[in-house]
Amino acid sequence: GTQVTVEIHPKDTTPQLLKKLPFGKGPQRLPSLRGQDNKGFQRTEAPRPPGGKDLHAYPWDKSSLKSMPVDLQQFEKLDAYALKVNVTNSIEELVTTLLKQARTDLEKVRAIWMWICHHIEYDVVGYHDKSQLSSKPIDVLQTGKSICEGYAGLFEQMCSIAGIQCMKLSGYSKGYGYKMGQTFTGDSDHAWNAVYLDGRWHLLDSTWGSGAVDDSFTKFTFRYNEFYFLTHPALFINNHFPDNSNWQLLKPTLTLKDFENNMLHNSNFYSLGLLSTRPETAIIHTVNGKASISVDCRSATLFKFELKGTDEQGLMTLKKHGMMLDIYPQKTGSHKLQIFAKPSKASEDVYKCVLEYVIECQSVDKAMRFPKALHQPVGPSWFTERQGFLRPSHPDPIIHTNDGRCSLTFTLGKDLSVLATLHCDNSSLTEDERRRHIMKIHRGNQIELKIHLPHAGSFVLKIYTKKKSDSGNYDYIFNYLITCLNTEAKWPAFPLIYSKWAEDYEILEPLSGLLPANRNVQFKLKMHGIAKVLVQADDTHPLTQSKGYWEGTCNTSGCQEVFVMVQENANHSFYSHVLRYEVESQ
């Protein structure tokens, strides 16, 4: 008994009424039918243009990567189902099958998105030879390949059949072949979609969601990218500039000039929880041979960098919420800088490129040429804290010493054994000899590293650790850069320490491993649990115990070396060597 009025309009005109109506009594005007045919599907209304309630604030408020709340865990079953659907003869049949598991409009869009991203590959042959290419939705479905135009067209048609308002958008993109700082002119070079969900427009790019092409643009690899599903418009504008600025969905909108000048942050940047960078320009000019970059992030993240393929010309420090990097190019001209990151909890050692800059260097700071042994990042950080090095006396990565001496202290985590090494370019000393310029002193859970440099210059202090209970090798943890410009600074090595020297023993004097000839030398050593201590030179000199210290003097006449020996048990006559000093030649 229901009367229905059917209006017929030419294919591309806009209907007068944009309202879904229930089946009621009396003559009613229904929305237009858009799409291919009407096999039992609800049809979409003509899309309304974006308005005030669709707009998001620019710049990004750092809240969410998406333009609406999305719980990816709730999509797990739907995603798995969509991936298995294998219908390629009819778009209607494909949509019917996909929507069997989708209840809400969001789930319908998700199912279509997942299917396209995992079943349509980028047509690199068609991109180069347009005669081989069709972007018609049915051709895209049946061949399983297309370029962005075809992805966006198929997406639009599948949404239309599913009763979801969807628009195909076109514009400029910072995708394959983009060069930093380039300008955009002429026709648009990319296509993507907007979908209408929960009363607002949202943006997505299924081409970029599906994978990537290689540098030579000859091979496509499926590599799903969640970032481009309902991307927050303030992030989408980073590499998508629509022909119609209303489809930025931003307030205020950006000009093409803004788009060209803005730093390109790729999807890895945001997916890894990074928030912002300084500077915000892609090209950095050095000041007095130095360029500085910093990155802010939500949680502990590990970073690497490469300037022209190496990390030798910079100094990177990790911060709790990011990192700081000072670059000192050793040649003038343009240099490509890449910054990589990975989450601190990631099991595999895969760093992803998150930023690219061009460093324009007008002058070189030769003084900032770093030793080859310097490892990035430099200095203590949240990472070294996690490895058990707490409360460092020197929080900065560079230690400047005027007289060639310095001392570092840390509070150590439980059960840790520490090894330290000293490195320098063009040093005549062997690694073992350089290691004797570091003295370790343990006091309870504190460790002190005393360093006496053999000569002026730039040194790397590397610190390794292992659990005392482990018999295996030491693991590298971090390093410092130690610099001394005073050419008169020349310190002899510390005395040679033997294995019987216990970890918590301490030398107060003499600290120098080289004793003057024909002199009385004062000894003061902190040792415990020992019956007797002897200093053996030409004669043997016993030390006496007082308030936990063993003290006494020894004469260095007529000998080339001096040994300190201990008797651990008064009932045995056996002595062990613990220290060896050399005596200056006459």
Catalytically annotated residue among 123, 205, 311, 326? 205
**Residue 533 belongs to a domain:** yes
Q: Domain for residue 472, yes or no?
A: yes
- Split at pLDDT 50, 70, 90, the class of 560 is very high
Please check whether residues 341 and 402 belong to one and the same domain.
Answer: no
CATH number assigned to the domain comprising residue 505: 2.60.40.1930
Q: Answer yes or no: do 214 and 84 share one domain.
A: yes
Q: Got the DSSP string for 478-544?
A: EEEEEEE--TT---PPPPEE-TTS-TT-EEEE---SEEPTT-EEEEEEE--S-SEEEEESSSEEEEE
Residue 513 near residue 430, CB atoms below 8 Å? no
Residues with Cβ within 8 Å of residue 429, at least 6 apart in sequence? 454
Query: What are 397's two structure tokens?
Result: 């990565």
**Alpha carbons 523 and 544: distance in angstroms, whole number:** 10
Same domain, 130 and 170: yes
Query: What average pLDDT does this structure show over 382-397?
Result: 96
Indicate if the pLDDT at residue 32 is higher than 60.
no
Considering the domain architecture, whether residues 112 and 125 belong to the same structural domain is answered as yes
Q: How confident is the model at residue 42 (pLDDT cuts 50, 70, 90)?
A: low
Is the pLDDT confidence value at 537 over 80? yes
Per-residue model confidence as pLDDT tens digits over 55-93 = 999 999 988 999 999 999 999 999 999 999 999 999 999
Question: Residues 91, 212: one domain?
Answer: yes
pLDDT at 12: 61
CA proximity to 352, closest of 309, 292, 302: 302
User: Among 22-36, 152-166, 307-321, 499-513, which range has the highest average pLDDT?
Assistant: 152-166
Catalytic residue among 56, 119, 190, 232: 190
Please pick, among 117, 123, 148, 265, the residue that the annotation labels catalytic: 148
The mean pLDDT of the chain is 91
pTM of the model: 0.82
Distance, in Å, from the CA atom of 518 to the CA atom of 496, rounded to the nearest integer, reads 21
Assess whether 488 and 503 both reside in one domain: no
Residues 76 and 217 in one domain: yes
Contacts of 395 by beta carbon, 8 Å cutoff, 6+ apart: 379, 380
Looking at the domain assignment, is residue 43 inside a domain?
A: no
Residues 117-123, mean pLDDT to the nearest whole number: 97
Domain end marker among 494, 527, 560: 494
CA gap 111, 216 in Å, rounded: 32
Burial of 43 per CB tally in 10 Å (0-12, 13-18, 19+): middle
Single out the residue in 494, 528, 543 at which a domain terminates: 494
Query: What span, in angstroms and rounded, lies between the C-alpha atoms of 32 and 373?
Result: 71
Comparing CA positions, the residue from 194, 207, 185, 225 lying closest to residue 56 is 194
Same domain, 117 and 228: yes
Assign 13 a pLDDT band (cuts: 50, 70, 90): low
**154-187 pLDDT per residue, tens:** 999 999 999 999 999 999 999 988 988 899 999 9
In a domain, 27, yes or no: no
Residue 441 resides in a domain: yes
The reply to whether 79 and 218 lie within a common domain is: yes
The SS3 call for residue 113 is helix
Question: What are the backbone angles phi and psi of residue 228, rounded to the nearest 5°?
Answer: -90, 15
Query: Which is more confident, 517 or 348?
Result: 517
Above 90 in pLDDT, residue 194? Answer: yes
Give the mean model confidence (pLDDT) for residues 141-146. Answer: 96
Note whether 392 and 471 are same-domain residues: yes
**Domain match, 480 and 507 both:** no
Residue 72 covered by a domain: yes
Half-sphere exposure of 391 (CA within 13 A, CB side): 9
Q: What pLDDT does 36 receive? A: 40
Domain contains 332: yes
Q: What is the pLDDT of residues 409-455, one digit of tens each?
A: 999 988 899 999 999 998 888 888 999 999 999 999 999 999 999 99
Q: Which ranges constitute the DSSP H helices of 541-582?
A: none
Is 438 within 8 Å of 422 (Cβ atoms)?
yes
Is 148 annotated in the active site?
Answer: yes
Q: Among 134, 140, 205, which residue's Cα sits nearest to residue 168?
A: 205
The residue out of 494, 518, 545 marking a domain boundary is: 494
- The whole-angstrom separation of Cα 142 and Cα 155 is 14
Structure tokens at 168: 């195909």
* pLDDT recorded at residue 224: 97
Report if residue 15 sits inside a domain: no
Sort 512 into a burial class: Cβ within 10 Å, 0-12 / 13-18 / 19+.
Answer: middle
Q: Total domain count for the chain?
A: 4
* Residue-number span of the structural domain to which 281 is assigned: 271-361
| 132/139: higher pLDDT | 139
